[in-house]
A and B are shown apart, each in its own frame.
Chain A
Amino acid sequence: MNPKKISLFFLLSGFVFLPPLFVNTPYAYIIRILGITGLYVVLALGLNLTLGLAGLFDLGFMAFYAIGAYTSAILSIHGWNFWAATAVAVAVTVFVRFLLGASVLRLRGDYLAIATLGFGEMTRIFFNNCDSLTNGPKGLPAVGQSMGLVQIYHFTFTDNLHFYYLILATAILGAVFSMRLENSRIGRAWTAIREDEIAAELTGVAVTKFKILAFSVSAVFAAVAGSIFVHWENFVTPESFTFWESVLVVSMIVVGGMTSIAGAVTGALLISALPQILQVVLGGTFIHYRYLIFGVALVLVIIFRPQGLVPSSRRQLELQRIED
Chain B
Amino acid sequence: MLECRSLSVVYGKKISALKDVSLKVDQGEIVTVIGANGSGKTTLLKAISGVFRLDEGEVSFEGGALSGVPMHKIARLGIAHVPEGRRIFSRLTVLENLELGAYGQKKAILDKRLEEAYRIFPLLKERASQLGGTLSGGEQQMLAIARALMAEPKLLLLDEPSMGLAPVIVEKIYSTIKNISRQGLTILLVEQNAQISLSIAKRGYVLENGQIALSGLSGELLNNPLVQEAYLG
Contacts of B133 in A (CB 8 A): 321
Q: Does A204 contact B (CB under 8 A)?
A: yes
Q: Are B92 and A195 in contact (CB under 8 A)?
A: yes
Q: Are A191 and B87 in contact (CB under 8 A)?
A: no
Known: A189-B103, A198-B51. A314 touches B72 (CB 8 A): no
B66 to chain A, nearest CB (A): 14
Known: A199-B83, A202-B83, A203-B151. A317 touches B103 (CB 8 A): no
Interface residues of A in 1-51 (CB under 8 A from B): none
Q: Does B49 contact A (CB under 8 A)?
A: yes
Contact with A along B116-153 (1 / 0, CB 8 A): 00000000000000010110000000000001100100
Q: Does B104 contact A (CB under 8 A)?
A: yes
Contacts of B89 in A (CB 8 A): 191-192, 195-196, 199
Q: Does B25 contact A (CB under 8 A)?
A: no
A195 to B147, CA, bound (A): 15
Q: Are B99 and A188 in contact (CB under 8 A)?
A: yes
With beta carbons under 8 angstroms apart, the residue of B87, B131, B134 that contacts A199 is B87
Would you call the interface of chain A mostly helix, strand, loop, or mixed? helix
Q: Are B100 and A185 in contact (CB under 8 A)?
A: no
Interface size on A, residues (CB 8 A): 21
Q: Are B72 and A207 in contact (CB under 8 A)?
A: yes
Known: A198-B51, A318-B131. A204 touches B103 (CB 8 A): yes
Q: Does A205 contact B (CB under 8 A)?
A: yes
A321 to B133, CA, bound (A): 10
Known: A198-B51, A321-B134. A203 touches B101 (CB 8 A): yes
Q: Are A201 and B75 in contact (CB under 8 A)?
A: yes
Q: Does B81 contact A (CB under 8 A)?
A: yes
A53 to chain B, nearest CB (A): 13
Known: A195-B92, A199-B87, A201-B75. A317 touches B99 (CB 8 A): no
Q: Does B76 contact A (CB under 8 A)?
A: yes
Known: A196-B89, A318-B91, A321-B134. A204 touches B83 (CB 8 A): no
A207 to B70, CA, bound (A): 10
Q: Are B104 and A185 in contact (CB under 8 A)?
A: yes
A205 to B151, CA, bound (A): 12
Q: Does A176 contact B (CB under 8 A)?
A: no
Q: Does B163 contact A (CB under 8 A)?
A: no
Q: Are B75 and A204 in contact (CB under 8 A)?
A: yes
Known: A192-B100, A196-B87. A202 touches B81 (CB 8 A): yes
With beta carbons under 8 angstroms apart, the residue of A195, A200, A204 that contacts B91 is A195
Q: Does A278 contact B (CB under 8 A)?
A: no
Q: Are B100 and A205 in contact (CB under 8 A)?
A: yes
Contacts of B96 in A (CB 8 A): 188, 191
User: Which chain A residue shows the least CB distance to B93?
Assistant: A317
Q: Are B72 and A199 in contact (CB under 8 A)?
A: no
Q: Which of A188, A199, A204, A207 is the most central at the interface, judged by chain B CB atoms within 10 Å of its CB? A: A204
With beta carbons under 8 angstroms apart, the residue of B81, B83, B131 that contacts A321 is B131
B151 to chain A, nearest CB (A): 6
With beta carbons under 8 angstroms apart, the residue of A188, A196, A204, A321 that contacts B72 is A204
Q: Does B199 contact A (CB under 8 A)?
A: no
B94 to chain A, nearest CB (A): 12
Residues of B within 8 A of A (CB): 49, 51, 70-73, 75-76, 80-81, 83, 87-93, 96, 99-101, 103-104, 131, 133-134, 147-148, 151
Q: A192-B103, A202-B81 are in contact. List 9 more A-B contacts (CB 8 A).
A: A188-B99, A188-B103, A189-B103, A192-B92, A200-B100, A202-B51, A202-B83, A206-B70, A317-B131
For the complex of A and B, the 10 pairs showing the least CB-CB separation, nearest first, are: A204-B75, A199-B87, A195-B89, A201-B71, A206-B72, A204-B103, A202-B81, A204-B76, A204-B72, A203-B100
